[in-house]
């Protein structure tokens, strides 16, 4: 009997199972080749490593680390490194799959990859995090490189972690290799606009969705007269909230892991960001009332941005959602069942592989700038980002019209169509 890899370790997480269900649904909707879909349901390569670290107290702790390459059909692997207590092989594999779809959808010459270490980074000192990052880099060094697989920051990591990864890789190679990672500090080859790119992209596609609804004649919206909530006030959510605020949208509620804050008259987002930076939490913010994340999801607003983690909108709370437009800032925040229900209720869902693609787009820009040693202004970066996002959104909207399906399914169809053509042209070795 043939062994089905999807019955193994990388099929255990709800995120992976959801990704496969969405892929199957898109394939059925568009009548795609089952051979192509079969290849896309499993990762190309996965590495599990142990990462021993000498802690500040002299003891040695061993952490679990992963790096997964889902597909390199279109080019080198691309995907973040996540430090989080819930990281596991299945979750990382699912995120790598989403990266493959994302890169294909927005037209990048990159494949999908992802990595992570299972831990709570807030429990480690700076010295311990540096030791962890450097040892992890050496453990996966055979998988990464500018022409092979290019990591970037994700949940729990930032530009400093990427600087440590780049330095470790460069020390092993004997010369500086800035192209091995993206999301680096500007001083060592990072790109202007990279930290804000994902959040900006989330709002760019909201603007396109509003224009699309007007063109279709299904709704008439004006962003300056709309209300919004943001679940997950971190690297993506805080930027998205601020971009909405700048555009005149009334952001009435935002939340972090511990809960949220609400003000019916609208929050002063720059002030909330300053408070968050100072206190590391939204708790206790003045001029707003405390609410739970579940209460935030149930608010009657025009726009909802789930920008925290996966699986926050499910069959258990989908009927509480009252937003008209959802832009998925996080990866997989809506389960398949909830997606189909919400779409049946007329909710426009802008899928994660489109809505949060701004990060990988500007990471690609950074990779290109590093290879050429020719760097762009932030204005150029943002203009190019907006252009790529607009093109991807329009392609997805055209697919949605062609197959009479929601934007989430249309985005997957558009992505797989490009991957399918590339697979057929390259063939199957041997």
Q: How far, CA to CA in Å, does 285 sit from each of 179, 280, 281, 401?
A: 41, 11, 9, 44
The Cβ-side half-sphere exposure at 295, using a 13 Å CA radius, reads: 15
First to last CA, the chain: 22
Phi then psi dihedrals of residue 76, to 5 deg: -60, 155
Confirm if 282 and 306 have CB atoms less than 8 A apart: no
Point out the catalytic residue in the list 102, 114, 235, 408: 114
Confirm if 252 and 228 have CB atoms less than 8 A apart: yes
Q: How many helices (H) and strands (E) does the chain have?
A: 14, 12
DSSP labels, 209-233: HHHHHHHHTS----GGG-EEEEE--
CB neighbour class for 232 (10 Å; exposed up to 12, middle 13-18, buried from 19) = buried
Dihedral sign from CA coordinates of 311, 315, 320, 325: positive
Give CA–CA dist 326/329, Å, rounded.
9
114 annotated active-site: yes
Confirm if 165 and 137 have CB atoms less than 8 A apart: yes
Catalytic positions, please? 114
């Amino acid at each position: 009997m043939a062994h089905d890899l999807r019955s193994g370790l990388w099929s255990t997480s709800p995120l992976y199972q959801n990704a496969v269900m969405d892929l199957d649904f898109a394939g059925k909707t568009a009548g795609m080749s089952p051979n192509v879909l079969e290849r896309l349901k499993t990762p190309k390569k996965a590495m599990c490593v142990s990462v021993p670290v000498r802690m500040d107290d002299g003891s040695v702790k061993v952490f679990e680390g992963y790096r997964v390459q889902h597909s390199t059909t279109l080019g080198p692997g691309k995907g973040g490194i996540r430090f989080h207590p819930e990281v596991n092989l299945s979750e990382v594999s699912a995120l790598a799959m989403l990266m493959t779809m994302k890169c294909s959808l927005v037209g990048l010459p990159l494949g999908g990859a992802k990595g992570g270490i299972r831990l709570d980074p807030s429990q480690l000192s700076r010295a311990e995090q540096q030791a962890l990052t450097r040892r992890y880099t050496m453990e996966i060094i055979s998988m990464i490189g500018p022409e092979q697989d290019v990591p970037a920051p994700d949940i729990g990591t930032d530009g400093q972690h990427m600087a440590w990864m780049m330095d470790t890789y460069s020390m092993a190679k004997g010369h500086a290799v800035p192209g091995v990672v993206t999301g680096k500090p500007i001083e060592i080859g990072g790109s202007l606009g990279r930290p804000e790119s994902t959040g900006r992209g989330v709002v760019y596609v909201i603007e396109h969705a509003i224009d699309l609804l007007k063109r279709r004649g299904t709704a008439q919206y004006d962003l300056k007269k709309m209300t919004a909530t943001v679940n997950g006030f971190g690297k993506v959510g805080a930027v998205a909230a601020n971009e909405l605020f700048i555009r005149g949208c009334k952001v009435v509620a935002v939340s972090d892991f511990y809960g949220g804050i609400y003000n019916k008259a609208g929050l002063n987002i720059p002030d909330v960001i300053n408070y968050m930076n100072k206190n590391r939490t939204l708790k206790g913010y003045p001029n707003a009332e405390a609410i739970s994340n579940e209460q935030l999801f149930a608010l009657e607003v025009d726009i909802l941005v789930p920008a925290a983690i996966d699986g926050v909108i499910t069959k258990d709370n989908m009927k509480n959602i009252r937003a008209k437009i959802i832009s998925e800032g996080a990866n997989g925040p809506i389960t398949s069942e909830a997606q189909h229900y919400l779409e049946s209720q007329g909710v426009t869902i802008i899928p994660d592989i489109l809505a949060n693609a701004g990060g990988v787009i500007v990471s690609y820009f950074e990779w290109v700038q590093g290879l050429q040693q020719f760097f762009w202004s932030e204005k150029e970066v943002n203009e190019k980002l907006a252009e790529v996002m607009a093109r991807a959104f329009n392609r997805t909207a055209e697919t949605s019209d062609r197959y009479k399906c929601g934007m989430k399914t249309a985005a997957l169809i558009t992505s797989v169509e490009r991957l399918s053509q590339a697979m057929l042209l390259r063939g199957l070795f041997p």
